[in-house]
Amino acid sequence: MLIIQLYRFAGTWAFTDEARKLTHEPFVLGIPEIIDKILEDNGIVSDQPKILFSAKPFPKHQGYLRYTNFEADGVWYNLFSTTNGEEKYVNENLTGWLCPATLKYFPVHPEYIYFKLEA
């Protein structure tokens, strides 16, 4: 299980992880919209939410990202939500690209990234 603290920086969601030498690492290309949707759907109001994530399912995860295709050393993912144990494809317009910084957390871009956002 991995955890990062999100915050707004330069108009987008970002995070800093000193142990992995990432400072103001921005989320781009659809990921900010995915984060906003998850926060909204779960009634989370926070300017610094934390995200728990893993390549394997864990209890009470809110959803997952599913690998769709590789591009420019990163991966495009589709968003799926999990409500009461039911999984649902959220919206074909909610796709996002995770950059090569993802490889600082996983040995390869995972097929699935399970998550839970908290205030």
pTM: 0.92
Q: Please list the pLDDT of the chain residue by residue as tens digits (119 residues).
A: 999 999 999 999 999 999 999 999 999 999 999 999 999 989 999 999 999 999 999 999 999 999 999 999 999 999 998 776 677 777 777 899 999 999 999 999 999 999 999 99
The whole-number pLDDT of residue 74 equals 97
Give me the number of domains the chain comprises. Answer: 1
Give residue 85's pLDDT. 66
Instruction: Identify the sign of the CA torsion 38, 42, 43, 49.
Output: negative
Q: What range defines the domain where residue 69 resides? A: 2-118
Helix, strand, coil fractions of the chain, as percent rounded to 5: 15, 50, 35
Q: Which tokens belong to 30?
A: 């659809």
Q: Which of 90, 89, 86, 72 is nearest to 28 (CA)?
A: 72
Write down the pLDDT at residue 94.
85
Look at residue 92 in the predicted model and tell me its pLDDT: 73
Q: What is the DSSP string of 8-46?
A: EETTEEEEEEGGGTEEEEEP-TTHHHHHHHHHHHTT---
